[in-house]
Amino acid sequence: MRFLKKNLLKFMFFSILSYSIYYIFFIQTEKYVSKSVVMIKDLSQGQSTSALGALLLPANSKSMTDAKLLEIYIKSSDMFKILDKDFNLTRYYQSDSIDYLHRLSDNSPLPNLKPTNKNLIDRYNKDLKVIYDEASTTTTIEFAHANSKRAKDIVNKIIFQSSKTLNYLENENTKIILKFLEKQEKEKHKLFIESLEELLAYQNKNKTFDPKVDIEVKNKILADLESQLIKKNVEYNNKAQYLNATTPEMKLLKGNIDYIQKSINKIKSQLIGNSHNKQQKELNINMTNFMLLENRVEFNKKLYIQTLTKLEETKVLINQNRKNLIVVINAKESDSYTYPNKIKDSVSIFIILSFLYGIVGLIFMIIKDHKD
């Protein structure tokens, strides 16, 4: 009886091992892998990144973000539907091309072998590999298929569709930005016009073009008057050497000098003034108010120009393909299968079964010793 049990255990061990090796070498589906290496090139990245952003953000952060978004899309049900339409992956995963242990079937009692959308996408993702290399900012796309040509065609389709989707998403994002900028442009234009109208109203109310110009004009007049005063004084002193101060000519010259001096004093009082000079206070207030209004107009003008410039740039970019998938290594048709690794899998099965055989044998020995 013990002999039969021992031989039965060995028979089961060798039977399972033999069938497993036979399955691996002669039944399990041989899959061919096609691989391509791509890089996402953002044509607008150099223009859109500010100097501060370049200092704060890692050099490859934008590329990594784009690559991760690309990976999510490639593994999504949307991509599977597109590939299924062109390459009928649903039928492929239920066909004789796939061995019966991995084939999806309506008749299978196991839920994970039913041809549901979830199981189909899971099988698609098992055959797919998307690997991002941060150092080179490249993305490797691999796909395994029972047909080597079909594997290559699927990789090329993934790249083509990903490039289209990248630009579609970018353009949709740009349209959102465009709507925001159009709204901003209207608001900034309204602010600019309102500030300009306020400045014009102030000029009309105070009957002045620019208080600074008024001051410049008065300074020029003051300089001319001071020059005339010097000339008149020189003339008066020269004539005083041979004419009496009571003569009509000397009185007239003296009157001109006094009038020029009064005019100079009046203009200086307006320009320099003092704490009790009402006219000077009004001039200072006018100057301050005018400068505030003028600066507001200039500020709103700059904001409007910046918004308008950004709006025009966005309008130009909206129909451009700014993000492109540059193919670094083209997908090629494999001349030999990649999966399964038959030698490695066979050795692994042998080690596992040997381990189980040892455990079961040990259990039998313990039971035998316990009975004895």
The sign of the CA dihedral 193, 195, 201, 203 is negative
DSSP letter string, 297-333: HHHHHHHHHHHHHHHHHHHHHTTS--EEEEEEE----
Q: How far apart are CA 184 and CA 182, in angstroms?
A: 5
Distance of CA 330 to the CA centre of its chain: 27
Are 328 and 21 within 8 A, CB to CB?
no
Residue 195 neighbours by CB under 8 Å, 6+ apart: 293, 296, 297, 300
The pLDDT, as a whole number, for residue 372 is 55
Label residue 48 by pLDDT band (50, 70, 90).
Answer: very low
Q: Is the predicted pLDDT of residue 141 greater than 80, yes or no?
A: yes
pTM for the structure as a whole: 0.62
Q: How far apart are CA 287 and CA 210, in angstroms?
A: 8
Q: How far apart are CA 73 and CA 158, in angstroms?
A: 10
Question: What is the average pLDDT across 153-162?
Answer: 95
Q: How far apart are CA 32 and CA 311, in angstroms?
A: 50
Q: Is the predicted pLDDT of residue 49 greater than 50, yes or no?
A: no
Label residue 95 by pLDDT band (50, 70, 90).
Answer: very high
End-to-end CA, the chain: 15
Question: What is the average pLDDT across 148-158?
Answer: 96
Hey, what are 68's tokens? 């991760």
Which of 48-52, 169-173, 344-348, 367-371 shows the highest mean pLDDT?
344-348
pLDDT in tens, 20-39: 888 888 889 999 999 999 99
Are 311 and 182 within 8 A, CB to CB?
yes
Torsion of CA 203, 205, 208, 211, to 10 degrees: -80
Which of 53-57, 260-264, 346-350 shows the highest mean pLDDT?
346-350
How many residues does the structure list for the chain? 372
* Percent of all residues in the chain with a pLDDT value above 70, rounded to a whole number: 82
Distance of CA 358 to the CA centre of its chain: 59
Q: Is the predicted pLDDT of residue 98 greater than 70, yes or no?
A: yes
The pLDDT, as a whole number, for residue 23 is 87
Question: What is the average pLDDT across 139-168?
Answer: 93
Peptide bond into 111 cis (omega under 30): no
Q: Is the predicted pLDDT of residue 267 greater than 50, yes or no?
A: yes
Backbone φ and ψ of 249, nearest 5°: -65, -45
DSSP 3-state assignment of 39? strand
Q: Is the predicted pLDDT of residue 122 greater than 90, yes or no?
A: yes
CB neighbours (10 Å) of residue 92? 21
The pLDDT, as a whole number, for residue 133 is 92
Residue 83 neighbours by CB under 8 Å, 6+ apart: 89, 124, 154, 157, 158
The sign of the CA dihedral 18, 19, 20, 24 is positive
Hey, what are 186's tokens? 């209207």
Identify how many contiguous H helices and E strands the chain contains and give both numbers: 12, 4
Which single residue is written with the structure tokens 């008057």?
A: 225
Hey, what are 100's tokens? 């019966």
* Higher per-residue confidence, 129 vs 263: 129
Range scoring the smallest mean pLDDT among 84-93, 108-117, 141-150, 349-358: 349-358
Q: Is the predicted pLDDT of residue 51 greater than 50, yes or no?
A: no
| Averaged confidence pLDDT in the chain | 81
Residue 154 neighbours by CB under 8 Å, 6+ apart: 34, 83, 87, 143, 145
Are 347 and 24 within 8 A, CB to CB?
no
The pLDDT, as a whole number, for residue 53 is 43
Q: How far apart are CA 372 and CA 370, in angstroms?
A: 5
pLDDT in tens, 285-336: 666 777 788 788 888 889 888 888 888 877 776 666 567 788 999 999 998 9
Peptide bond into 340 cis (omega under 30): yes
Q: How far apart are CA 247 and CA 34, in angstroms?
A: 118
